[in-house]
Chains A and B, each alone.
Chain A
Amino acid sequence: MSQPDPLLEFLLRMGDNTLVLGHRVSEWCGKGPVLEEDIALANTALDLIGQTQMWLGLAGDIEGKGRSADDLAMLRDAWEFRCTLLVEQPNGDFGQTMMRQYLFDQWHLLQLRALKDSSHDQIAAIAAKAEKEVTYHHERSADLVIRLGDGTEESRPKMQAALDLLYPYVGEFFEGDATDKTLAEAGIAPDPASLRGAFDAALSTTMDEATLTLPDSRFTHKGGKTGTRHSEHLGHLLTQMQWLQRAYPGATW
């Protein structure tokens, strides 16, 4: 088997993270705890899907086989996806969804800020565009994690349980491989490990304010970003997300 093109691999990782999380968050549409949060969740999902169009659109161009962003989103199977395990995780309750969002937003924001200086012009342009939206997502998710964590007798244990459940998925964002090494050397993307210090510092500040305790263990689940082993949740998500194109190939509206 030939080695995957590192640039293509990287773009799939970016686009699959935003696609799968965007889909997950969209599952809340019409079911939010209050109308304003329902709207906020749907808007966040919309931004993420919009960013997906840019990342996967560029991936299709780089691949050069005529595949569009839609083709890549709707016609690949689970093992071809390169999203991290965190974004595949089910929504759980509202608190768990917001904890997952905060953990992702915190990494995403640091990653996009670094990508704004990418030596690849199109990547830098997409990052500059997405960063504005993600700054806003991060402001909201951090605020809600703090309010619910430092909240009531009911909300606080739920947020602590969400953190205990999801923290073991965070480390995957900072694990580097040959693809990351090639891109870092070319100045295209940061070395994933280089973002960990800033991430940990921000996380610790937020969790202190939320009166939540970070787990001691740095153990991390991994395998999503490299595509070697996704969680079972991804397959279930794809059956719903891809159903229409699979049942009615080429359907448009």
Chain B
Amino acid sequence: MAPARLSGRDLVKPSTDQIWDWLDDVPDPEIPVISVVDLGIIRDVQWAGEALEVTLTPTYSGCPATSVIEISVDAALRDKGIESVTLKRQIAPPWTTDWLSDKGRAKLETYGIAPPNPAGGPDRCPRCQSTDLERISQFGSTPCKAQWRCKDCLEPFDYFKCI
């Protein structure tokens, strides 16, 4: 049986809370363990008549994931039967790691990525919890990460840069 699809005419529009829940299932393309909502780049969800407006704020100016995220958000909402989706890119105020959700921070750490920390470096090794750490590089495999190493378990790990 084909899944029930909503169209503008037959059913009530899904609430924005429902939309936020759906978006919380859309993974970040580079760090799929967290969602685009956890990452804090979805800034607003609003109905404008029959069209749904979703406002996104990119993380880094040149981050290639931004376009992929836009495509994933659009596809996820269409999949839920929303036919008209408008994506708006908003750069002000600029994205900050303060917008990462607590759930997202916890998931990052479980995954092996140390969450951002205002002190400018990770609190502890995400694997063995040691605090004896050293920075290997200010940058990492994506614009949002840096490379650190634990001097106890000797494992290198990613640190989510705090900006």
Q: Tell me the A residues contacting B by CB distance below 8 Å.
A: 36-37, 39-40, 43-44, 46-51, 53-54, 121, 124-126, 128-130, 132-133, 136, 139-140
A36 touches B60 (CB 8 A): no
Interface check B91, CB cutoff 8 A: yes
A126 touches B91 (CB 8 A): yes
How far apart are the CA atoms of A22 and B91 in the complex, in Å?
A: 21
Interface check B29, CB cutoff 8 A: no
Main secondary structure of the interface of B (DSSP, over half): loop
Point out the residues of chain A lying under 8 angstroms from B137, CB to CB.
36-37, 39-40
A46 touches B163 (CB 8 A): no
For A133, give its contact among B61, B93, B141, B147 (CB under 8 Å): B61
Point out the residues of chain B lying under 8 angstroms from A47, CB to CB.
60-62, 143
B94 touches A46 (CB 8 A): no
B136 touches A129 (CB 8 A): no
Interface check B131, CB cutoff 8 A: no
Main secondary structure of the interface of A (DSSP, over half): helix
For B136, give its contact among A36, A44, A126 (CB under 8 Å): A36
Point out the residues of chain B lying under 8 angstroms from A124, CB to CB.
92
Point out the residues of chain B lying under 8 angstroms from A128, CB to CB.
91-94
How far apart are the CA atoms of A51 and B143 in the complex, in Å?
A: 13
Count of chain B residues near A, Cβ 8 A: 21
Point out the residues of chain B lying under 8 angstroms from A139, CB to CB.
138
Known: A43-B143, A125-B92. A136 touches B161 (CB 8 A): yes
Top 9 A-B pairs ranked by shortest CB distance?
A50-B62, A50-B61, A36-B137, A125-B92, A46-B62, A40-B139, A43-B139, A129-B94, A132-B163
B139 touches A39 (CB 8 A): yes
Interface check B140, CB cutoff 8 A: yes
For B141, give its contact among A39, A44, A140 (CB under 8 Å): A39
Q: Taking the nearest CB of chain B, how far is it from the CB of A128, in angstroms?
A: 5
B91 touches A54 (CB 8 A): yes
B61 touches A129 (CB 8 A): yes
Of A46, A54, A125, which is in contact with the most chain B CB atoms at under 10 Å from its CB?
A46
Q: Taking the nearest CB of chain B, how far is it from the CB of A109, in angstroms?
A: 14
Point out the residues of chain A lying under 8 angstroms from B161, CB to CB.
136
Q: Taking the nearest CB of chain B, how far is it from the CB of A73, in angstroms?
A: 13
How far apart are the CA atoms of A46 and B132 in the complex, in Å?
A: 31
The chain A residue with its CB closest to the CB of B64 is A46
Interface residues of B in 77-123 (CB under 8 A from A): 91-96
Known: A126-B91, A132-B94. A36 touches B147 (CB 8 A): yes
